[in-house]
Amino acid sequence: MHQAQFKEHAQSIEPVVYVVDDDEDMRDSLLELFMVTKTRASAFSNGSEFLETADISAPGCLVVDLRMPGGTGLDLQARLSHAGSRLPVIFLTAYADVPASVKAMKAGATDFITKPFASQDLLDAVDHAIKLDAERRVVDAERERIEALADTLTPREKDVMFEVVKGLMNKQVAYELGISEMTVKLHRMSLMRKMQSRSLADLVRKTEKLKRG
């Protein structure tokens, strides 16, 4: 499956906006707003309820109140990170809390909105967060595909691949690895097939994704 297909697949899954706020009126108001805009949404009164009930691996984003009894929005953000979730987080607060804003952004929050806020400002923030999440999922899926291809290589084929992408000629690779040039050629043909690469440029692109992963 190519990257364009991954993107199409990711977009076919309807994203959900998770709202976490201890204020029932605020939860109802936000759910109504998302319902009007035909955005799938689900609300929770606290972080623990959200973590116990919601599918944090689903596409979408989280809209969470900064200050809640029993655990702040920053606490929830940290718990999500610890669980390995990269769900985009938008913070809502009635307080002009600059230090908390900075801390939230450093921890990966996509936006920080002060109450009261214009509905369109929140909708714009949600739209941006969902787009970021979708793009990240496409990149992750592509990297996982490349990692799966790389796992089919033998240890020697991997050695040859990482020397080849440095720009070395077959003769140079043979010298570096202490094998014959013919063996390098055979390994190179095999690894190009397994990595589904028709060019050196494509192979370089794929190995770069492996290095970043």
pLDDT in tens, 37-55: 999 999 999 999 999 999 9
Q: Please tell me what DSSP assigns to residue 145.
A: H
Global pTM reads 0.75
50 shares a domain with 131: yes
76 shares a domain with 35: yes
Taking a C-beta distance cutoff of 8 angstroms, is the pair 1, 10 a contact? Answer: no
| pLDDT at residue number 98 | 66
Taking a C-beta distance cutoff of 8 angstroms, is the pair 135, 128 a contact? Answer: no
110 shares a domain with 60: yes
| Phi, psi angles (nearest 5°) of residue 138 | -65, -45
Percent of the chain at pLDDT above 70? 89
Taking a C-beta distance cutoff of 8 angstroms, is the pair 188, 160 a contact? Answer: yes
The residue range of the domain holding 191 is 152-212
| pLDDT at residue number 1 | 44
Q: Is residue 191 part of a domain?
A: yes
**Structure-token pair, residue 85:** 């979730």
22 shares a domain with 78: yes
Q: Per-residue pLDDT averaged across 11-29, rounded?
A: 88
| pLDDT at residue number 213 | 43
- Please compute, for residue 34, the number of CA atoms within 13 A of its CA located in the half-sphere on the CB side: 24
36 shares a domain with 131: yes
Report how far residue 39's alpha carbon sits from residue 33's, in angstroms, rounded to the nearest whole number.
9
| pLDDT at residue number 211 | 62
- Tell me if residue 154 falls in helix, strand or coil: coil
160 shares a domain with 75: no
State how many domains the chain has: 2
Q: Is residue 145 part of a domain?
A: no
Report how far residue 39's alpha carbon sits from residue 10's, in angstroms, rounded to the nearest whole number.
16
| Phi, psi angles (nearest 5°) of residue 17 | -100, 120
Q: Is residue 112 part of a domain?
A: yes
